[in-house]
Amino acid sequence: MSLPYETVIGVETHVELATRSKMFCPCSATWFGAPANSLVCPVCLGLPGALPVPNRRAIELAMTAGLALHCEVPAHTKFDRKNYLYPDLPKGYQISQYDLPLNVSGWLALDTPDGPKRVRIRRAHLEEDTATSKHGEGYALIDFNRSGVPLLEIVSEPDLRSADEAVAYVQALREILVFAGVSEMRLEEGAGRFDVNVSIRFTEDGEVRWPPQSEIKNLNSYAAIREAVPHEAERLWRSWRDGGELRMRTGKITVGWSPERRETFLQRSKEEVEDYRYFPDPDLVSFTPSRETVERLRASLPELPGDRRARFARVYALSDYDARVLVADRALADYFEAAVKASTRDPKQIANWVTGEVRRRMKDAGDGAGVPFPPEQLAALVELVASGEVSGSAAKEVFGDMWTTRRPPSEIVRAKGLTQVSDEGAIAAAVDAVLAENAKAVADYRAGNARALGALVGQVRKRTGGKANLSVVNRVLAERIARGEATR
Amino acid sequence: MPIDRRTVVHAADLARIALTDAEVERFTGQLSVVLDAVARLAEVDTSAIPPSASTLPLRNVERDDEPRPGLGAEEALANAPRGGRDGEFFRVQEVLQER
Amino acid sequence: MNALPASITEAAASLRRRETSAAELTEVALERAHRDRLNAWLLVADERARAQAKAADERLRRGDAPPLCGIPWACKDIIGTKGVETTAGSRILDGYVPPYSATVVERLDAAGAVMVGKTNLDEFAMGSSNENSAFGPVRNPWRADRVPGGSSGGSAVAVAAGHALFALGTDTGGSIRQPGALTGVVGMKPTYGRVSRYGVVAFASSLDQVGPFTRTVEDCAIVCQALFGKDPHDATTMPLPAEDLRRDLDRGVEGLRIGVPKEFFIEGMEPDVERAVRDALAELERQGAALVDISLPSTDHGLAVYYIIQPAEASSNLARYDGVRYGLRVEGRDLLETYRRTRGEGFGPEVKRRMILGTYALSAGYYDAYYVKAQKVRTLIKAEFDRAFERCDAIVTPTSPTVAFRIGQKVDDPLAMYLNDVFTLPGNIAGLPGISVPCGFSDGLPIGLQVMASSFQEATLFRVAAAYERATGFHEKRPEVAA
């Protein structure tokens, strides 16, 4: 279905930085789940006389994010006050960055169904988070634990054209930030929030029209973006078509998204636009990022997901799918590479283990669990299979044992007697015995029932205690049956 | 630049300060005098002059990312105004509709 | 003993000779503070003071006591004190007891000084007469129908009237130097960045600086020695190597170049004030200083710059008084109304005036014309001082164009009131240190002489002020009211 308009989208992403302490005070930044108002001090409570002192790590993480997003580092940067009164803002102003943000003019590469695309990043600046509120009937309860947690606000240009593209953008952004160690961005903990600017563009009476946008505030999940964006775009379209408010409007409006009612609602119209009275915060001095700092941060920047995927596909000859799955988890990708380094076999075989069994076990083990044995042992297991010493199915058993006992695979194979029988003489004897006992199955197979062969293979394996090398069994069986046919 | 009642009322609204009519009247007059005196700044040629936010020859002041305990909830809430505390929370009336 | 010694140095010597004790000095100070009829005190902290005196006496007995140990002092009530109510002279902080002390208080606590209590001030330090306090005006000990100057009026009076041996004030546009001049004591504003502002209720952050009131220049240097230095809690304090601020006190002014800016001898200055300052300049010249005519043309715009930057910063600094976490809350029908009523009723008229002025100067459409313009002229003013200090070592001017005026005389004329600070506020705009020392009387009311020096050159400032002080007896005169 094609829409009569184009949706134009820009996203402002707020992410909490992975610091231990807050942006301007030494209170713990690990606020999620802490007892109310237990992580506060004069600074983040906005007590009279309290003063901010910036967190070096927060500034460096923000610069790291900028470098990962190909931003320019300005010669000077500073903090400004954004003035507005709200109960979750203890000082009556938020310390933010106005005209000299820490990062400007970057981009992010995005794969879209229409091919690769660069989403331009206008700026990424540092600020402090607000307190959290719980709402009751006619009142609100305020907890200042989150107050002052460092936030990076990343503002994209209006380069996105659909809700799916917007979601792909924030997913790609999240991947980069997590990879670079800038933020854990746990959306379920509110550590990433999105303000999405939506406008519609269309042609009417031969003229391109692009009426003012709506800013959908505070979306906190991909699902919300996916729903809210088309909803608001359609609402704007109808408003235009039916001669509604959009035809009168000259500036942007701010709307909220109600996930229950699945609709947007007006928060602030253009007439009520807040006058934030930004000015340089006189409690803080300006910053001149040193060349050494920038170069040190650049050097410590890990290979970013897009680059790594491309390299995996190229160097290890992996499928796009495998590369994607591996790179989606930095630890997994690192494990894979270490195992490849320890092995002489085809990296694809390592990849199969990592994307399959390893990932499944890690998922079962839950959050934060790593692989219990070193990558060299996975390489050793792959070697056992590739050399024919153990069968594929036995290898799975060995793998399970490695996971729980952490013993080396060779030891497990020995202890459990899982070594595969590849000796042709032994297998041939078993095959002959099976053929003699299963004349009917042989006849069926010859009559064209391919499944009968499977039954025969099973019989041979049974006879050899499950240790027969299947490829040898298959070959010998095929030879014997063919020869039988010839001699008949 | 003269200041009128509307400007005074608007600034008071932005600053969230309730003024009586008499205050609006008085402040309009008084601030007009002050702003007249301030208006002389326009005469100064500052076309090639950068603004100074501070006189301090200091840059890049930062601290290490070391968490330290702050106040306990009890101490934090001890100064809450009457009716301004609810358990371990600060309590306020319904939050404004805007924002 | 029924009066405090004449200075910190005298008291410190007596304490070390065991002629008196911290406990005794503290009792005198407490008694004086309780008997105060000038409304200088908002709170007398008997218990805290006695506990500190006891600890000080123990320390003095052990013999490792720093110079301020056991010395009673008065704290302007805009400086936060842990466990002791802090009002900033405003109703809006009703009942607020800080859970932490300002760094300056911690430093004086560590030095063994004894805090007698908290002194009256113009609300949030906004004023030049101390008539803007929510707790009533402070009276001048030289004549009770006169103002003591402001905003640190209570602190100035506490020292002038002999209730304490020193006091702390804050100076944003002259709030230490001007009341120092009007009450006949030494008042000093350090270079911006010398003293921590942490825990001091903020007025205008780029201008505020804490400093002392004392009886003598040497006392001033002693207190500064305890206050100065980098504070990790204040990003705007300067990391500088330690120095002995008293090192040049006795050097005299021979060979020093004293700058005399023509723009500071203006119409509207009282003739007695001008005469006293000219006499002081002659005295410095007699001692071997060279007087240099200098020009600071942009200081003419100082008042305009000050009345943009200062209210603008204040309008933001005072936004936190919203009745949510501490202080006054006046409930309305909804939260917005509660904000408006809390702030409408909690702030006094001068504070509201400046909130409106500052909000206006920062608001959309006016920011460039006012705030940015003022910041640019600030650059010019600073540059002119820098150039002037290439030609001279110190600048000497009157502290205030007038002596203490009558209570009520200027309350309805903000501009006239603001003009009190016309000689002091350029120092705040440029971040320079300045000291006011007594330099004569006009009809029995004290006159102040201001000495300014280049940034972080307080030792030079003390050198000039001490040389002048040694040659005159003005600082030894005490008001009769206080006796």
Judge whether C430 is closer than 8 Å to chain B, CB to CB.
yes
As for how many domains chain A has, the answer is 3
Judge whether A283 is closer than 8 Å to chain C, CB to CB.
yes
Which pLDDT score, from 0 to 100, does residue C374 have? Answer: 96
Looking from the CA of A422 toward its CB, the CA atoms found within 13 Å total: 10
Which pLDDT score, from 0 to 100, does residue A487 have? Answer: 53
Domain match, A234 and A273 both? yes
Looking from the CA of C406 toward its CB, the CA atoms found within 13 Å total: 3
Within-domain flag for C260: no
Judge whether C367 is closer than 8 Å to chain B, CB to CB.
no
A449 lies in which domain range?
A: 424-487
Share of chain A above pLDDT 70, in %: 97
Domain match, A169 and A57 both? yes
Judge whether B87 is closer than 8 Å to chain A, CB to CB.
yes
Average pLDDT over residues A379-408: 87
Average pLDDT, chain C: 96
Within-domain flag for C63: yes
Q: Structure tokens of C12?
A: 């410190």
Domain match, A443 and A467 both? yes
C129 lies in which domain range?
A: 8-254
A-facing residues of B in 34-63 (CB < 8 A) are: 53-54, 56, 58-63
Three-state secondary structure call for residue A7? strand
Q: Tell which wins on pLDDT, A472 or A230.
A: A230
Average pLDDT over residues C56-61: 97
CATH of the domain at C54: 3.90.1300.10
Within-domain flag for C62: yes
As for how many domains chain C has, the answer is 1
Q: Tell which wins on pLDDT, A381 or A250.
A: A381
Give A344-387 pLDDT, tens digit per residue: 888 999 999 999 989 888 888 776 678 889 999 999 999 988 88
Alpha helix positions (H), A128-210: 163-179
**How confident is residue C483, by pLDDT bands cut at 50, 70 and 90?**
very low
In the block, residue with structure tokens 């700058």: C259
Domain match, A281 and A398 both? no
Domain match, A283 and A309 both? no
Domain match, A380 and A456 both? no
Which pLDDT score, from 0 to 100, does residue A446 have? Answer: 81
Average pLDDT over residues C420-428: 95
Which pLDDT score, from 0 to 100, does residue C19 have? Answer: 96
Domain match, A344 and A261 both? no
Give A408-456 pLDDT, tens digit per residue: 888 888 888 777 777 777 788 888 888 888 888 888 888 888 788 888 8
Neighbors of chain C by Cβ distance (3+ pairs < 8 Å): A, B
**How confident is residue B85, by pLDDT bands cut at 50, 70 and 90?**
very high
Interface contact B59-A288, CB threshold 8 A: yes
Interface contact C202-A49, CB threshold 8 A: yes
- Checking if the pLDDT of C273 tops 70, the result is yes
The alpha carbon of residue C100 is apart from the nearest alpha carbon of chain B, in Å, by 9
Which of A238, A260, A292 is at the close of a domain?
A292
**How confident is residue A272, by pLDDT bands cut at 50, 70 and 90?**
low
Nearest-by-CA chain B residue for A276: B14
3-state helix/strand/coil string of C210-243: EEEEECCHHHHHHHHHHHECCCCCCCCCCCCCCC
Give C112-170 pLDDT, tens digit per residue: 999 999 999 999 999 999 999 999 999 999 999 999 999 999 999 999 999 999 999 99
CA dihedral B58→C218→C161→C436, nearest 10 degrees, is -50
Q: Where are the domains of chain B?
A: 5-42
Q: Which of A26, A54, A254 sits opposite B66 (nearest CB)?
A: A26
Give C430-452 pLDDT, tens digit per residue: 999 999 999 999 999 999 999 99
Phi and psi torsions of C191, nearest 5°: -55, 140
Domain match, A408 and A438 both? no
**How confident is residue A242, by pLDDT bands cut at 50, 70 and 90?**
confident
The residues of C annotated with a catalytic role in the active site are: 76, 151, 175
Which pLDDT score, from 0 to 100, does residue C268 have? Answer: 79
Residue B24 buriedness (CB in 10 A; 0-12 / 13-18 / 19+): middle
* Intra-chain end-to-end CA distance of chain A, in Å: 66
- Substitution target from C82, C207, C356, C384 for chain B, most B beta carbons within 10 A: C356
CA distance A401 to A415: 11
Q: Tell which wins on pLDDT, A123 or C420.
A: A123
CA dihedral A452→A453→A457→A458, nearest 10 degrees, is -20
Domain match, A87 and A217 both? yes
Judge whether B48 is closer than 8 Å to chain C, CB to CB.
no
Q: Which helix (H) or strand (E) holds C404?
A: none
Average pLDDT over residues C57-84: 97
Q: Please list every residue in chain B whose beta carbon sits closer than 8 Å to the beta carbon of residue A275.
A: 14
Angle between helix C373-391 and C302-317 (nearest 10): 130
Interface contact C313-A48, CB threshold 8 A: no
Domain match, A375 and A476 both? no
Extract the runs of DSSP E, i.e. beta strands, from A165-213. Answer: 192-204, 207-209
Which pLDDT score, from 0 to 100, does residue A169 have? Answer: 95
CA distance B59 to A286: 5
Give C23-36 pLDDT, tens digit per residue: 999 999 999 999 99
Average pLDDT over residues A179-201: 88
DSSP, res C333: S
∠ Cα C181 C185 C191 (to 5°): 75
- Give me Rg for the CA atoms of chain C: 21
Q: Which helix (H) or strand (E) holds A352?
A: helix A347-353
Helix then strand then coil, % of chain A, to nearest 5: 40, 20, 35
Within-domain flag for C26: yes
CATH 1.10.3470 fits B5-42, yes or no: no
Which of A292, A324, A346 is at the close of a domain?
A292
Q: Please list every residue in chain B whose beta carbon sits closer than 8 Å to the beta carbon of residue C97.
A: 78-79
Out of A158-162, A374-378, A414-418, C93-97, which region has the weakest mean confidence (pLDDT)? A414-418
Interface contact C235-A54, CB threshold 8 A: yes
Among C168, C120, C156, C163, CA closest to C33 = C163
Please report, for residues A99, A351, C236, C317, the alpha-carbon distance to residue A78 in angstroms, rounded to integers and kept in the order given.
Answer: 9, 47, 14, 18
CATH of the domain at A442: 1.10.10.410
State the ipTM, two decimals: 0.96
The alpha carbon of residue A281 is apart from the nearest alpha carbon of chain C, in Å, by 9
Average pLDDT over residues A170-183: 92
Domain match, A251 and A341 both? no
Phi and psi torsions of C36, nearest 5°: -55, 130
Within-domain flag for A53: yes
Average pLDDT over residues C394-422: 92
Please report, for residues A324, C444, C471, C473, C475, the alpha-carbon distance to residue C441 in angstroms, rounded to integers and kept in the order given.
Answer: 86, 5, 16, 11, 11
Average pLDDT over residues C384-398: 97
Interface contact B34-C415, CB threshold 8 A: yes
**How confident is residue B51, by pLDDT bands cut at 50, 70 and 90?**
very high
- Checking if the pLDDT of A485 tops 90, the result is no
Within-domain flag for C158: yes
Three-state secondary structure call for residue A97? coil
Q: Structure tokens of C34?
A: 């309780």
Specify the length of chain A in residues.
488
Domain match, A347 and A454 both? no
Which pLDDT score, from 0 to 100, does residue A260 have? Answer: 86
CA distance A170 to A190: 14
Which pLDDT score, from 0 to 100, does residue A481 have? Answer: 82
**How confident is residue B99, by pLDDT bands cut at 50, 70 and 90?**
very low
Within-domain flag for C441: no
Which pLDDT score, from 0 to 100, does residue B98 have? Answer: 43
Within-domain flag for A40: yes
Which pLDDT score, from 0 to 100, does residue A270 have? Answer: 61
Give C252-264 pLDDT, tens digit per residue: 999 999 999 999 9
